């Protein structure tokens, strides 16, 4: 794969754009602002990925040496400038949304995202727990961005609920990823939660967050946000969530943490699919 495509982590960026697609499906709306919102989330997520790789390329030489910058396929300076370009494209999309809808909240949200994503890569990632919560917040922020792009009060409320779900589960996964990456983080002098207090307590914290989201899942049906079909699909996601929680609770070695993280990601994708089924 071309390194300039690979460094964007397009699959990850597309997953971010799914938040907008889901909100559009729930509202049964498709228009130019929605398409621009998808592009804005894609570019912003890609920007976060690239700038994160720029600041973390020394750590990645241990944890993920195959990535474009640590492998030498892209220079650090080129990676940094490429990240800035993604930020610019995302910000332009946010401005166009607000200009077309005469609603400047989406543009403000994109500007806030620019600042948070850069600060995360520069400083917050190495801040125990705050970095994990920041990633979760930004994932949930995508749903809220979609809600304000549509600017329907009912959809805004739904987007905030879904955003909270994404925040909690993503934070749990980020904590588990810190357990997985503890070797490289130690070598670079990072101070993640597992490094400071050991792997067991962060694992328990991640499990608590997973349980919270599992409890929240039925509420989306109970409060008539989604229909009965939602329950059938979300049940599969909940099984994966619980399985991931059991895995990481039993063992915190790198391989197990990787498996738990992977199953959580798959579970989140299935949960997103359940939102679509629940809208019918």
- The residue with greater pLDDT, 142 or 14, is 142
- Whole-structure pTM value: 0.84
Summarised one tens digit per residue, pLDDT across range 206-248 is 999 999 999 988 888 887 778 888 999 999 999 999 999 999 9
How far apart are the C-alpha atoms of 249 and 103, rounded to whole Å?
A: 46
* Contact (Cβ atoms closer than 8 angstroms) between residue 241 and residue 210: yes
Residue 80 · residue 7 · CB < 8 Å: no
Neighbours of 173 (CB within 10 A): 26
User: Comparing 266 with 68, which gets the higher pLDDT?
Assistant: 266
Question: What pLDDT shows up at residue 212?
Answer: 93
pLDDT on residue 124: 81
3-state secondary structure at position 1: coil
Transcribe 9-39 into DSSP letters.
-HHHHHHHHHHHHHHHHHHT---HHHHHHHH
Which residues, in sequence order, are CB contacts of 225 under 8 Å at separation 6+?
158, 161, 278
Q: Is 133 exposed, middle or buried (0-12, 13-18, 19+ CB in 10 A)?
A: middle
* Short-list 168, 155, 156, CA closest to 217: 168
User: ∠ at Cα 9 (7, 13), nearest 5°?
Assistant: 135
Model pLDDT for residues 32-84, shown as the tens digit of each residue: 999 999 999 999 999 999 998 888 777 777 777 778 888 778 888 888 999 99
With cut-offs at 50, 70 and 90, classify the pLDDT of residue 266.
Answer: very high
Phi, psi (5° rounding) for residue 171?
A: -60, -40
The three-point CA angle 270-254-122 to 5° equals 80
**Is it the case that residue 263 has pLDDT exceeding 80?**
yes
The residue with tokens 């509420």 is 219
Q: How many CA atoms lie within 13 A of 201 on its CB side?
A: 9
pLDDT digits (tens, 9 = 90+) for 157-212: 889 988 999 999 999 999 999 998 888 777 766 778 888 888 899 999 999 999 99
Residues spanned by the domain of 70:
3-278
Tally of structural domains, the chain:
1
pLDDT (tens digit, 9 = 90+) per residue, 145-155?
Answer: 999 999 888 88
């Amino acid at each position: 794969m071309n390194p300039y495509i690979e460094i964007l982590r397009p699959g990850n960026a597309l997953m971010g754009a799914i938040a907008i697609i889901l909100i559009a499906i729930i509202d049964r709306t498709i228009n130019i602002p929605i398409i621009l919102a998808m592009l804005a989330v894609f570019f912003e997520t890609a920007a976060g990925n690239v700038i994160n790789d720029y600041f973390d390329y020394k750590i990645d030489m241990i944890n993920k040496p195959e990535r474009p910058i640590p492998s030498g396929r892209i220079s650090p300076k080129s990676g940094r400038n490429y990240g800035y370009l993604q930020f610019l494209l995302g910000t332009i999309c946010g401005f166009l949304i607000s200009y077309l809808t005469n609603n400047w909240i989406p543009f403000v949200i994109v500007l806030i995202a620019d600042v948070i994503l850069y600060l995360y890569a520069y400083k917050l990632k190495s801040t125990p727990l705050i970095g994990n919560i920041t990633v979760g917040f930004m994932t949930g922020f995508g749903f809220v961005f979609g809600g304000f792009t549509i600017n329907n009060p009912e959809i805004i409320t739904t987007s905030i609920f879904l955003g909270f779900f994404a925040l909690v589960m993503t934070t749990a996964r980020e904590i588990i990823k810190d357990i997985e990456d503890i070797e490289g983080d130690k070598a670079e002098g990072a101070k993640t939660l597992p490094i400071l207090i050991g792997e067991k307590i962060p694992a328990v914290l991640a499990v608590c967050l997973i349980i919270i989201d599992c409890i929240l899942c039925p509420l989306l049906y109970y409060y008539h946000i989604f229909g009965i079909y939602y329950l059938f699909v979300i049940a599969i996601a909940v099984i994966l969530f619980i399985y991931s929680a059991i895995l990481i609770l039993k063992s915190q070695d790198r391989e197990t943490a990787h498996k738990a993280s992977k199953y959580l990601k798959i579970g989140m994708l299935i949960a997103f699919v359940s939102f679509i089924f629940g809208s019918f």
